[in-house]
Amino acid sequence: MKLNVVEILKHLPKTNCKECGEATCMAFAAKLAKKEVELKDCPPMFTEEFAAKREILENVLMGKAA
């Protein structure tokens, strides 16, 4: 199953903070979809603020329904 970049982006922080090394969350989502990076490369996703979104996104990445 091919991962949908827009579906991934929907659950990312969308802060474009560049902490992952990418210029935008969209660029990170595209690389995540191609498995060129891992979710752990996005530090904000591992804060309490984004815990719920992280859980959903982990399921999306594993091919489970969101």
Res 66: pLDDT: 55
Q: Model confidence over 2-49: pLDDT tens digits?
A: 789 999 999 999 999 999 999 999 999 999 999 999 999 999 999 999
Angle at CA of residue 19, ends 14 and 25, nearest 5°: 30
List the structure tokens of 5: 């970049």
Task: Tell me the whole-structure pTM to 2 decimals.
Answer: 0.91
What are the domain boundaries of the chain?
5-61
List the structure tokens of 57: 């996104």
Domain 5-61 sits in CATH at 1.10.15.40
